[in-house]
A and B are shown apart, each in its own frame.
Chain A
Amino acid sequence: MVSYSIVALTALLLFGFWNLQIIQTDYYAIKAEQNRIRPIPIIAPRGEMLDREGRVLVGNYPSFSVLLLREDPALVEKYLPQVADGLNMTLEDLKQQLEAAKSIPKFQPIVIKPEASPGDIAYIESHRVDIPVLELLSVYRRRYPPNDFLAHVSGYVGEVSPNEVDASNGRYKPGDIVGKTGLEKQYNDTLMGTDGMRRAIVNSIGQEVGKLEQQDAIPGKPIRLTIDYDLQMVAEQEFADKEGALVALDPRTGEVLAMVSRPAYNPNDFAVRVSREEWVKLNSDPQTPLLNRAIQAQLAPGSIFKIIMSTALLESKALPANYSVFCPGSATFYGRVFHCWQPKGHGTVDLHTAIVHSCDVFFYTIGKELGIDKISHYAAALGLGKPTGIDLPGEEPGLVPSEEWVERVFHHKWYAGSTISVAIGQGATEVTPIQIAYAIGGIAMGGVFKQPHLLMTDQPVPEVDFPLQPDTVEQVTQGMYGVMNEQGGTGYALRLENVEFCGKSGTAQLMSYEAGSRVGGREGKLTNGWFVGYAPRKNPEIVVAVIVQGSTEHGGTTAGPIVRDIVKAYYDKKAGHTPQQFSMNDHSQGMGQQPVNQSAAPALAANGAAPSVPAPAVTKPSQPPPARPE
């Protein structure tokens, strides 16, 4: 009986082993694999942003993030105080992060400190055995140029939001770094690589004892921009701490050569993890540093609109070509007096003189003759009132007022008197700096409007054709040439030798003339100063639109010199010499080394150099010569 029991019990045990080893073996084989294999992501570096000549504008630098392994909640609980202590973090902070990561599967480690200091790295390396919940993750972090250079164009990156993850159809996973604004967002799919996976064999206390196959990260692709580093540099320096925006286009191709918006922010602040306070500060700043004014500021165009009016006048043939108006300094329309900016009056003016001297009365008059329908038709046809289609997120459409618009929005008929204000670029009309560069460039090109773009492309650029009669183009461009090159022209002080530099200034009051005079005349009144310039006169290569906001000066004084310097720099460069004024100062030193910095990035990190090199102060450009007021 005892013997039978022995045989029976042995059979019973063997059945138990059979059950585990034969019947359930697949299940346990997977368990065993999971046990010993720890997946560690390999972060793919984002593609660089290069300028049109291949110089690195936005690059990466290697860095480490601190990962918390959360597979075992008891272990995490146990070591959390030590972790907080060793990494100079507060326990509350860690607990909050854990709480926030609750929905992420436990086997996925979370980043508790995105930027590990050398001290943190040393701490983690030396406590690998006794604190088994920490791991270092090698990452690439975005390195943006110092001094907010190109900030609004490049945009910035940040951790993907839960909404973005949901909307991405599995493309993004929590913790991914994605573009949040600007080109980073626009071309995120190109720039963002595919993270790889290293599968490490670990033992029971989490130490790595070997490696399995490694799935390499696929780095993001670099993008080459149309931005010209040299011109951008000039533009950034010209702006210094002014408020406003700049767009420089090649109207032949739509390529954006430079783009500035001020005030700006430092995208490097976002590259790690923007602090809540910083975020609130940036968002609630009345100066709206996050706004890209070049494409998002919708402002009255001021006298720049007179170019649109001139084109409309000539194209519509509503009035004879030699139509002229006598300007006594003011004129009465619909029972209301409208002043010219020149109280003494301009005398008898034809179209050319009106453009050169920016005579308001002339344009009031033709505005009345054309009527709002024709004005809005041509304004829209010349590129205003809708986005230009530039490859940046968030472009604003601006506004071209029309009878239809007034009825739709304000539910009343168009007041004929409003047309008079619209004719000189005041009133409800709103444009963005990119639209001004686009429209003026397109007019100068004879009615070919190339879609502005920042990504260098071999493909044909989409364009809007609104063919203008050669005579129209001739007269309008001749007018803008006169502005710069005729004695008495509003831009005469800004003329350039050996360059067919054409332009038009504009000064939009932030208040109407009437309201302004009631609060005490024009002195001390804030204005938006516009200037748009291009060269050469026929088939222009560069068009630059600048707005300087919140100055008490006129567009010709504030914005004009900036445009002039950009155009000058463009021609200087074309002639083969780098603009010396800019190549030798501190700013360009910081930036000029950028390509070198990038290739030497690992060495830099090894030396323990801080990734964000403190930016040297920007030297202010020399004071521009005083421009003649409009």
Chain B
Amino acid sequence: MTSMVAHSRGHCLTPELERVRVEIEQHARDYGLDFYKTIFEILDFEEMNMVAAYGGFPNRYPHWKFGMEYERLNKSYAYGLHKIYEMVINNDPCYAYLLECNHMVDQKIVMAHVHGHCDFFKNNIWFSKTNRKMMDTMANHATKTRKYIDKYGLDAVETFIDLCLSIDDLIDHHSPFIERRPRAAEPQDEAPVVKKLASSEYMDDYINPKEFIEQQKQKLEDERRKRRRFPEEPQKDVLLFLLENAPLENWQRDVLWMIREEAYYFAPQGQTKIMNEGWATYWHAKIMTERALTDAEVIDFADHHSGTVAMHPGQINPYKLGFELWKDIEDRWNKGKFGKDYDDCDDYVTKREWNKDVGLGRDKIFETRRVHNDITFIDAFFTEEFCNEHKFFIYQYNPERGVYEIADRNWKSVKMKLLAGLTNFGQPFIYVTDANFENRGELMLEHRWEGIDLRIDYAKDTLKNLYQIWSRPVHLKTAVEGKAKMFTFDGEKHIERKLDG
């Protein structure tokens, strides 16, 4: 904490804001929210954009991508397209930022909202393995990178970071929770058996001469050794694999390690976006409407809140979707709309009027926020009734009319589509399957093709970047329009091959 004071750029809360903060925090605790100490700082919009460009942190390693984000935020703020109200980082203590010129009612909403996030960070299982001292770690990453820049030059370090960023999504989101140990023991080596030609006993030495059998045995043995795979199992954490096996300089290994650490830190926020934003929205609505709102603030609150949960026909607003789901879950468990009796009932009116007054809603939402991520959340709670009530649909491109149009309102299709978009963050599954391809130390990656092609030009360039890390030819097995293909970058040129079967 002490080190943070030096980093922190923001200003302390004014006495009035501090009073509001204490009040809101108390409301949040009264409702049962459970969070780390949360520190609010006030930033003007430029500082806000800067911190936002840094992903919420006051300090990151030097890289142009932050400058790019900064320009985007600054311009879109300047042209009134976009305004960041709130930002909070998962850390112990949590840091949250308030925009200096906001109205008091906005600040209240933001504080309530932030406490929702902080509760989620602390209690959701997917965050349980994240580094809670990330603020310090990020600052360390920045310092280390600067040191490397001093020593090896800006171009070398930046170019290497560019390479890393090209593959920083190749991580295994579930690995913090599963011990993916290599199989404990090598399977017993069976001596290769050479098939003999059938012969009667006395002819055997002539039909299957001993020298020939020995020779064949040796050949089989060699082939078996060649075939032995490395890695033994396909590995999804490509970054880890490269860290352990690629011929990198020490500083490069360190940079790659930092990038990977940050990728794992941010991953749960992507995995729980709908839940997390919905949860925070649910709590700001609850705290404001039931406790904190004064009469004079009602209109402004309604305006702000409706902006947060606004719907756009062709997009999903995670705040809205999450918020409505949380309310729906609470309502269903309050009324006992779950379980076999409810599911088996097929009378529309009975189902709608169903109320057993069991009052389990609050317990259920707290339990849900602990154990789910977006995929399991949608899978478990996106029901037919919910889909219809909130008018979800699938849209599709109609080439004849040249427009996107509503294609389907069936709740199962909608749910499938939602889940498909969330699976692996909507990114392709890529594994390292062989690091000694063709016995030449070449790297083989495989894309688990599930019906959608990769973007080929990007894939080729990514292979090229991977080559610079692996320093031997790199291959990617995928499929294009259903036909298996292998793309290779051998250091000079791209090669494309069709694969059979």
Bound together: no
